[in-house]
A = this chain, B = another copy of it.
């Protein structure tokens, strides 16, 4: 079956650098010299950060990628980042604990080549989802966190992940807090799905708190992971209505639906290279 996402992929250049006058002119002149025709260009200046971001779709073959890259880097401000034709099908690992809903949706899309990514492996600190994962012929690493120091747990995790040339690690309801060292090792590559409410409930039993507060909306947030598990740059947030007939357990069920949807949307955007990081904020060229 032909992957239908393929139609959305064109040749692509991603640029991120300090802002200056004339950047778009400079970039587009160089592309024109290489006979590349821009079909859709998204560009944004984060004025508070004085930072420039561009995502350029074009037609025409890049014959000398190194030469093009060097020409761009030479004329752009210092420390610019240029990516020419990033990998179309990302390579990812999925980390889970016991909840299936985000993993299930991800594996079905993967199975039919519409995820935009290859799931290289799944790792879980429980083996609850092992047999489900293996139904899809994907390796499952059961790495318990019990009876061992966090360093050892994470070392085993890294051992399972490091040979896959991963672009992203998806925390699909992975209920362990990762150390700063782990997060640093996979900087800007870890995406988490977080149940977040209106107002946000912190601490134990968030759905009980939401019920007691009588909220009329539940939400979820997908974000990059920085040192604080629940605080990195937000990619997608959505909410769904609930009402007085929802008890705590029904709120849990509704929350899972919105988590699944939000994580799926976030992966879609990230895997298409539409998401840039600017400090603790994301620039998203939808």
Contacts and interface: CB of A to CB of B under 8 A. Distances in A.
Interface of A: 1, 4-5, 7-8, 21-26, 28-29, 31-32, 35, 37-47, 60, 100-101, 104-105, 108-109, 111-112, 114, 128, 132, 135-136, 196-200, 212-217, 219, 221, 233-239, 243-245, 247, 249-250, 252-253, 261, 278, 280-284, 286
Of A25, A47, A212, A252, most B-chain CB atoms within 10 Å: A25
Contacts of A244: 44, 46, 278, 281-284
Given A41-B41, A100-B112, A244-B283, A24 B35 contact: no
Nearest 6 pairs of A and B residues by beta carbon: A214-B281, A199-B200, A25-B28, A104-B108, A22-B32, A25-B32
A67 to B, nearest CB: 17
A contacts with B: majority SS: mixed
B132 A111 contact: yes
Given A38-B45, A112-B132, A216-B235, 11 more contacts: A21-B37, A24-B28, A24-B38, A39-B45, A40-B44, A105-B108, A108-B108, A196-B198, A198-B239, A214-B281, A217-B239
B5 A253 contact: yes
A261 B257 CA distance: 10
Contacts of A212: 280-281
Contacts of A245: 40, 44
Nearest to A235: B216
A246 to B, nearest CB: 10
Given A32-B25, A41-B24, A252 B4 contact: yes
B253 A4 contact: yes
